[in-house]
Chains A and B, each alone.
Chain A
């Protein structure tokens, strides 16, 4: 089945679109949020509907003007998608390409810009994000006992990774922190994507390590499983892809806006994802 593909990183505001790796089958409602409704099939694969194109990833479906609160049934077949019994042909939907290539010639500029983000754009990071792992000089607004213990734990995790005890470090941070997808899991997803970035620039592709990290850190929370799975295979959440694309093309002018969009996702999810990616590129590139 031939489908049109978009190549730009801007989300297609007015066009219905689907991610490039949708599971199929009959799905039941998993969880419902204001801009996202998650569905799960009997293979425990997650697909979500969103009314916000900025939230697209490989397992997302975006329909403009969709009355999200009314959608309760989803079926995905090879040629059609059915929402509450209304059938849409998949060939009518744009396909979001969630992958990104990294030309080796742009590597130095990319890394310099990437590593400068935690300093240059520090004010954009939400309080309680893990950005302190990249910029130890940051004054952290962690006030509760849980906060302090969480920070200590995250710092120990980072230390283990820097010492080369990668799996131990990631297992230490896994499942910890705030939010529906705990901060530590967002960090691990970013870390996996960072390994993919390094491979994309022609370095080590860390395939074995990516599989190992996924196997060891994946839990039962289907939301976490879903984004870790995307991260393992190098499939980028659209707002993160946009930031990386702008870094690859050295477009500093648009970078701040893209960063604002990414870092505004969830309470700290966008920030922790980016932190994990930067951490991974920074400390894994010489391995």
Chain B
């Protein structure tokens, strides 16, 4: 009988791995007994009692792994030692495969990727501006994904970037597509000749997806961050991005997306597009379209229309045809609402949104159909929910607002909060419809249907009559595949509409009918 052993010094393996090595050793031919334990003095005493303590174990410490082997002969012992070395090497390789740490800081990143020309910054807001300025001073374009950056800092960054002819996208810029590279929550869209400037992340996603899904393509999509169009910033980057698209040979059609800009900024944008050689389509959600129309832009009413219009213009089609197409669909929506309202119980719609602009768009449309709705971000301040955790009458909630996202990932990534809220809304017998936006793309949840469907099924256990209406922003090329997600949702009897605005319109039509039924 031969006793052999070895020490693995200062390398930590988890307990399960150690037990697995021990089990494999014991199963080897010619091995009578073995042990794989940490080198505590107490374990050494036990090893001594069973004849497995070796003289060279004495120098080991309790952070070393001791391997003792009792074998029938020298060959079996040698073979077991080689095998155990191999097992530990495999464990170490597995660890090393995961050890390629990312860059430590901007300098390190530039050393690792010389020639990089853009820095994407996603760190705590109070530190983002400093890092952004460092990047700008190194001649990099910058996209700040982080929020909570001061508006004075934003103005300083953008003024500097403008002076250097650099893009300074953000803060709070969730989406961009530059030279076909998606950044942040962007979607996998077809390349083409339509350029987008957006002070709205999900607005950009919805429009670029509509374009891609309807045969158009994107040249560049530049996000500016929502505050760029405020008076304090003066639209610096919105105007620079517009100018960049004007000079870009691959861009033939331009789409501008934002919430209503400050009047002074809107005048600047209008002045910039006057006498533009390229067609400009403009969607200012809730803003006055006339100023832009007078400046020569094609003003549209919603995000879907902006996308469809851009495709029509890009393809040399008939832009007027888009209006008739959408009017015909509205008629279909009314017929669907006639049928669905008969099965409905409850009175109200509860919208649970992950996209801020999609939430605004739904509120705007519903306001025209059924009047103001309650929200944590209402269009009319009088309809601000007193308690954002509790809906009231018709309510449309933006779950991506800071108040919901402190300490947790964005609801496009993490569905926990929305799922909880779905069940709460469904348990309210006044809820007739739950309206959802599902936003796909890089960075979003890898399979939103796997999150939503079980919750929807659970909600139906107590409220089988409740309607779920949704839209899915994204494309078939997205990692999640829009078609697959729609199919999964439809299998769970979710009514999936072609766009956010169509989903909101269907809700509005049903609520109108329900209120009439109740009045009768």
Contacts and interface: CB of A to CB of B under 8 A. Distances in A.
Contacts of A34: 14, 98
B19 A219 contact: no
Interface of A: 4, 12-17, 30-34, 64-65, 67, 69-73, 80, 84-89, 92-94, 128, 143-146, 148-150, 153, 173-182, 184, 219-221, 223-224, 266-269
Given A84-B104, A86-B123, A179-B19, A149 B46 contact: yes
Contact of B62 (A70, A86, A128, A175): A175
Interface residues of B, number: 51
Contacts of B117: none
B42 A145 contact: no
A193 B136 CA distance: 54
Contacts of A86: 122-124
Given A15-B407, A144-B33, A180-B38, A89 B26 contact: no
Given A14-B409, A92-B406, A94-B407, A219 B12 contact: no
Top 6 A-B pairs, shortest CB-CB distance: A179-B15, A175-B40, A69-B98, A175-B42, A31-B12, A145-B50
A178 B95 contact: no
Contacts of B409: 14, 64-65
Interface string B369-410: 000000000000000000000000000000000000011110
Contacts of B12: 30-33, 180, 223
Given A65-B409, A94-B407, A223-B12, 6 more contacts: A13-B416, A14-B414, A84-B102, A176-B43, A224-B62, A267-B18
A67 B100 CA distance: 11
A266 B407 contact: no
A31 B35 CA distance: 23
Given A14-B416, A15-B408, A220-B63, A153 B46 contact: yes
Given A88-B124, A146-B33, A220 B98 contact: no
Given A16-B407, A16-B408, A266-B14, A221 B124 contact: no
A72 B62 contact: no
A89 to B, nearest CB: 5
19 contacts: A32-B12, A34-B14, A67-B102, A69-B101, A70-B101, A80-B124, A87-B126, A88-B123, A88-B124, A128-B19, A146-B46, A146-B50, A150-B46, A176-B40, A178-B22, A179-B38, A180-B18, A182-B40, A267-B15
B283 to A, nearest CB: 32
Interface in B22-56: 22, 26, 33-38, 40-43, 46-47, 49-52
Interface of B: 12-16, 18-19, 22, 26, 33-38, 40-43, 46-47, 49-52, 61-63, 68, 70, 95, 98-102, 104-105, 122-124, 126-127, 406-409, 413-414, 416-417
Contacts of A149: 46, 49-50
Contact of A144 (B13, B14, B26, B407): B26
Contacts of A64: 408-409, 414
A178 B408 contact: no
Contact of A266 (B16, B36, B38, B51): B16
Given A84-B104, A87-B124, A180-B38, A145 B15 contact: no
B15 A180 contact: yes
Contacts of A180: 12-15, 18, 38
A184 B42 contact: yes
Contacts of A87: 123-124, 126-127
Contacts of A33: 12, 14
Contacts of B68: 146
A73 B50 CA distance: 43
B43 A175 contact: yes
Contacts of B127: 87
A174 B15 contact: no
Given A14-B417, A179-B15, A85 B104 contact: yes
Given A65-B409, A175-B41, A269 B15 contact: yes
Nearest to A92: B407
Nearest to B410: A14
A178 B37 contact: yes
B47 A146 contact: yes
Contacts of B49: 149
Given A32-B95, A69-B99, A153-B46, A177 B37 contact: yes
